[in-house]
Homo-oligomer: A and B are copies of this chain.
């Protein structure tokens, strides 16, 4: 058995409960990980409340984890019990890291970067892979290009800024004024206070834009992209054909969902161990404080990541 944050109906934080459930045993090719820390992400409250992506309960939320291999399933040779790993279950239809143990295929995990604690590494998989897959895989961001990153102090944003700098891009970031020093510290070349200035008035000709935000951020970002540029949308809004300006100017407006990705995990670990990627964790919550963690994610505007510790 194990303790886990479970829910049997959709709803507010009150539907969550810390209960005793069966410990998930590793199937062929899977590993069982003793959770040391697990990220909380914006998708969690939405999954809890409306079943976004995950569907109907019962389920255990939580899509990223850092921990210690407890058991290996038959046929697994990549890890042995005691190895420190970070990674994720399948997104979005499997979750389960807000618990004492989680199992997932071995190639959903890589060795934890030595330079990061479990708390820091737990902030990487979902947000780090999202940023990596958007900038590296999808946009093919390269040295000398300019990238516009919205909400650059957030969970995805603060990692995206550092990944973009690591490939040699020029980074224009948006953030509220109180977070400018933090964002500059990540390496951003220009930081715009979105409350004081409409970025669309002061930015132009960017190669890639990345947004996690609702509203008209997609349209306004398209207006500052060069012809043939790429908008990576991490908040679902409209599809390509619904952005006439993008169609007319050959701009891709890709909506992306993160996938487990060993190449990405190894890339993130390499950057972390090279000192080029730091994970900023603004607050941690013991597993018992699951309601506080959800409330902080829902109502707050955290800098960096929120992480549950187990």
Residues of A within 8 A of B (CB): 27-29, 53, 74-78, 90-93, 105-107, 137-138, 236, 254-263
| Cα-based distance from A261 to B236 in the complex (angstroms) | 28
| Cα-based distance from A28 to B95 in the complex (angstroms) | 14
Give the residue name and chain of the B residue nearest to A139 (CB).
B77
Q: How far in angstroms is the closest Cβ of chain B from A103?
A: 12
Q: How far in angstroms is the closest Cβ of chain B from A52?
A: 10
Q: List 6 A-B contacts (CB under 8 A).
A: A28-B91, A28-B257, A29-B92, A74-B255, A77-B137, A78-B137
Q: How far in angstroms is the closest Cβ of chain B from A147?
A: 16
* Cβ A259 vs Cβ B53 within 8 A: no
Q: How far in angstroms is the closest Cβ of chain B from A282?
A: 27
| Cα-based distance from A92 to B28 in the complex (angstroms) | 7
* Cβ A90 vs Cβ B75 within 8 A: no
List chain B residues, Cβ under 8 A from A76.
257
* Cβ B106 vs Cβ A259 within 8 A: yes
Q: Taking each of A27, A75, A78, A93, which has the highest tally of chain B beta carbons within 10 Å of its own beta carbon?
A: A75
* Cβ A261 vs Cβ B107 within 8 A: yes
| Cα-based distance from A255 to B76 in the complex (angstroms) | 8
| Cα-based distance from A77 to B90 in the complex (angstroms) | 17
Q: How far in angstroms is the closest Cβ of chain B from A229?
A: 15
Give the residue name and chain of the B residue nearest to A92 (CB).
B28
Choice from B74, B91, B258, B261 contacting A262 with Cβ under 8 Å = B261
List chain B residues, Cβ under 8 A from A77.
137-138, 254-256
* Cβ B90 vs Cβ A259 within 8 A: no
| Cα-based distance from A100 to B254 in the complex (angstroms) | 28
Q: How far in angstroms is the closest Cβ of chain B from A89?
A: 12
* Cβ A107 vs Cβ B260 within 8 A: yes
Give the residue name and chain of the B residue nearest to A257 (CB).
B75
